[in-house]
Structures are given as C-alpha cells and as structure tokens.
C-alpha cells in the first residue's frame, strides 16, 4: 500500500512522505536556524517537536544550526528518526500543535551542513570523453587512468553556498593565445550539473572505508552546481588541476535527501570495462535514476528556457566507489564532508551538463527564445537545476539549486 500523509501533497511535489529530507531553516518569527523536514508545501519544525517530546525522547540536536550532530549519530539514528516522522505524518490524529508546521514560503533556508572538506570527482564517462575530444582529440579523449579509478581533486569548502546565493563573476589570469596572460573577468563562465553527497559517519585515520560498507557512511544527497571559469582553468590547470577556476562558488540545494529515500531508485550503472581492481569492485546496483534538468533565464527573458536534461544513472563511477577510493589510503573522512560527482552528462547533445559541452566550446551557441544567444554565461543570467526520482504516483525530489550571475568586482569599480 502506498504511504500517504495526512497533509495533502500533490503527485508533482518533490516532497511527499516518501522523501522527508532534512534542512536548516529560520523564520521571521523565530530567526534561530534549526532543523526541519519538508512535506509538500510545509516545513515541519523538528526542534519544536523535540522540545515538546513528541519523539518519545529528546534528541537535542534538532535545535542546532547545522545537521552535523544529527548526521554523526549514524545510520541507526537516521532511520529511527525517519520512521518516527513517517508514523507521525501518517497517523492523522497525532496530538501536535500548529506551531510545528510552517508554510514553506515563510521559511528562510540556510546551508544545511558545516562542510569541513570538499572533494570533486570526474565520474561521468560522457563528460570526460566530450572534454577530452575538445582538447586532445578522439583517440586520446580519456586519460590512461580514467577507466581504472575515480579521478578527483580537492575543492574549496568555504565557498560552498546555499541555493539562491548570487554568484559574482570571478577575475583571474587568462591567456587565450598563450603567454603573456592578462588579468580580466572570466569570459567563459560556466555551470556544472552535478550531485553531491554528504558523509554522515566518518572513519578513523588509517582505516579505509570498504566498498561494501561505504553506504553506511553516506547520509544523503543534494543538487550541486559547481560553477567553473573555463578560461581561467585553461591557463592554470597544468600540472596540478583546477584552482581559482573552481574556488569562487559551488551552490547546493538546501534539502538533503537521505539515502533511504533514494533506495527504491537504485539501478545498475554502466558496465565497467576493464573490471575495477578488487577494492573498487561491486556487483550491487549502485546507480540512481535521478532525472536532472537545467534552465537558463537572462534578464531580458520572461520565463526560463530548459537547456539540458540528464540523469545520474549514466554516471560511470558510483558514489560508493568514490568514497572507497577516497579513503583507500586511510584518509579520514569527517561528518559533513562533501563529495561532488563531477558533471553529469548524458549520451545525447541535449543531455550535456555544462555550457562547455552544450555549445561545444562556444562553437555552437545556444539560441534562446527571445533571440539572444549564449556561448557561456553572461551577467544577469539565472541558472536553475532541478532533480527528482519518479515513483508510482509520487516523486522524490531535491527542489532546486538556483544562482544568478553578478558582474565581477573589477567590472563595477
């Protein structure tokens, strides 16, 4: 029997009772950031319920301004609380005060997690192949290591921002025709359609997380727009990889969707050939059927235009492989660490996950409905990413992650 909440929820809503994500919110009436969950168009104040002892015991961490203490409690606690909320929202006669329910349009959302470290992977074969063809040709599209390990690099945690935060165009060195470089605002600003996952329970230094146990350490997922300044990156990335081109902003959606909510949507990922080394090998279905969409709206447009539709199920290296690889050296992950999947491109041109690919390095501009064209993002452009899993009569979604491009500081002086 399909679960149904006593609160009416549209079948098109991202937030039915099958979801129950976690986030941090505040209101004008109570400006203290605290933990909530989302059901339809309502935010459920878990701090209030905890204070009223509606869970049978007092957890204490729902009054925190981040999810970290809750996340560190481990998967047993995550499941216990999820079940309590499910029971509460399906009972219909649960004695609770109206103060526990806040209309979503009255809630201000905050960054859900205090992020200690951020690692970005490069796990989509379609994306890696497209970029490789552009810069190295078809014969050398994938680097020799790519089919053997999840390639990644260390990103900047301090500039991860919550959806709705404006993004200032970065300035940096560019050298389109070789040295000498010039210092200018980026002319090739891009989005990257990604998913991110948060580490819930960490591991001790020197103790790798095995591929079979990796899922126990992952709390949940968010949409991630890992903004990229392509021209800055082209000059700086050798030999150590991205730096200033990626450290100015990465945007995440405010609701963390738990792995238990996503469990019904696990699917087999792409076949991996050659077979991975034993520490990365797994026979279980580790992909996720998450439908993804990107829209773009310029300041002159009346409505957004969909420019990409993709799916996480295309991703070659799964999130459990990413975590197992990250820790195989004994690297200690900590509660709140964020890992990005890398750009999630699909197999068709309309499923590419970046402007770099959609316009093929600017050679094929995107035509917008009002006559404008785009090779890369311009000032005033708003990018919105959405994602959801489709169930039988319901969907489990992430809401959206939104960002608007503002002029560089250099441009407004």
Task: Please give the pLDDT value at position 178.
Answer: 86
Q: What is the DSSP string of 210-249?
A: PTTTGGGGEEEEEEEE--EEHHHHHHH-TTT--STTTSS-
In the chain, domain spans: 22-110, 118-412
Q: Is domain 118-412 annotated with CATH 3.90.850.10?
A: yes
CA distance 252 to 44: 21
As to burial, measured by CB atoms within 10 angstroms (0-12 exposed, 13-18 middle, 19+ buried), residue 373 is: exposed
Phi and psi at residue 75, in whole multiples of 5°?
-65, -35
Question: Under 8 Å CB-to-CB from 183, ≥6 apart: which residues?
Answer: 171, 172, 173
| Regions of the chain where pLDDT drops below 70 | 1, 92-96, 411-413
Q: What is the DSSP string of 290-347?
A: -EEEEEEE-TT-SS-EEEEEEEGGG-SS-HHHHHHHHHTT-----TT-EEE------S
Is the CB of residue 312 less than 8 Å from the CB of residue 288?
yes
Question: Under 8 Å CB-to-CB from 52, ≥6 apart: which residues?
Answer: 96, 97, 100
Which residues are catalytic, by number?
Answer: 127
Domain 22-110 class, CATH top level? mainly beta
Q: Tens digits of per-residue pLDDT, 115-154? A: 999 999 999 999 999 999 999 999 999 999 999 999 999 9
Q: Tens digits of per-residue pLDDT, 174-228? A: 999 889 999 999 999 999 999 999 999 999 999 999 999 999 999 999 999 999 9
> Matching CATH topology for 22-110 and 118-412?
no
């Amino acid at each position: 029997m399909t679960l149904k909440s006593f609160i009416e929820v549209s079948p098109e809503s991202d937030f039915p009772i099958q979801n129950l994500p976690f986030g941090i919110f505040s209101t004008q009436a109570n400006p203290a950031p605290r933990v909530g969950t989302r059901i339809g168009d309502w935010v459920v104040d878990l701090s209030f319920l905890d204070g009223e002892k509606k869970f049978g015991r007092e957890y204490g961490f729902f009054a925190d301004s981040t999810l970290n203490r809750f996340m560190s409690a481990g998967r047993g606690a995550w499941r216990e609380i999820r079940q309590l909320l499910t029971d509460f929202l399906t009972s219909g006669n649960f004695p609770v005060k109206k103060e526990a329910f806040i209309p979503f349009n009255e809630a201000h959302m905050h960054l859900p997690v205090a992020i200690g470290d951020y690692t970005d992977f490069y796990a989509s074969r379609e994306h890696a192949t497209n970029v490789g063809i552009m810069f190295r040709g078809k014969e050398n599209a994938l680097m020799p290591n790519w089919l053997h390990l999840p390639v990644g690099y260390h990103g900047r945690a301090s500039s991860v921002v919550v959806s709705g935060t404006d993004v200032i165009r970065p300035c940096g060195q560019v050298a389109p025709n070789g040295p000498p470089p010039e210092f200018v605002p980026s002319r090739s600003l891009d989005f990257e359609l990604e998913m991110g996952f948060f580490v819930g329970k960490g591991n001790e230094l020197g103790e790798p997380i095995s591929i079979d146990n990796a899922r126990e350490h992952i709390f949940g997922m968010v949409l991630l727009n890992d903004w990229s300044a392509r021209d800055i990156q082209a000059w700086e990335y050798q030999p150590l990889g991205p730096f200033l081109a990626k450290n100015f902003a990465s945007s995440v959606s405010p609701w963390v969707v738990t792995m238990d909510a996503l469990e019904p949507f696990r699917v087999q990922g792409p076949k991996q050939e050659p077979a991975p080394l034993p520490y990365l090998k797994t026979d279980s279905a580790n992909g996720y059927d998450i439908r993804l969409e990107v829209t773009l709206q310029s300041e002159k447009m009346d409505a957004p235009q969909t420019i990409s539709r993709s799916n996480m199920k295309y991703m070659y290296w799964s999130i459990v492989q990413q975590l197992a690889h990250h820790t195989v050296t004994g690297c200690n992950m900590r509660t709140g660490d964020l890992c990005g999947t890398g750009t999630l491109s699909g197999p068709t041109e309309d499923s590419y996950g970046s402007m770099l690919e959609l316009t093929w390095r600017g050679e094929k501009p995107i035509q917008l409905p009002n006559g404008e064209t785009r090779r890369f993002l311009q000032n005033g452009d708003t990018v919105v990413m959405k994602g959801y899993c489709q169930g039988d009569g319901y969907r489990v979604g992430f809401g959206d992650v939104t960002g608007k491009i503002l002029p560089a500081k250099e441009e407004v002086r």
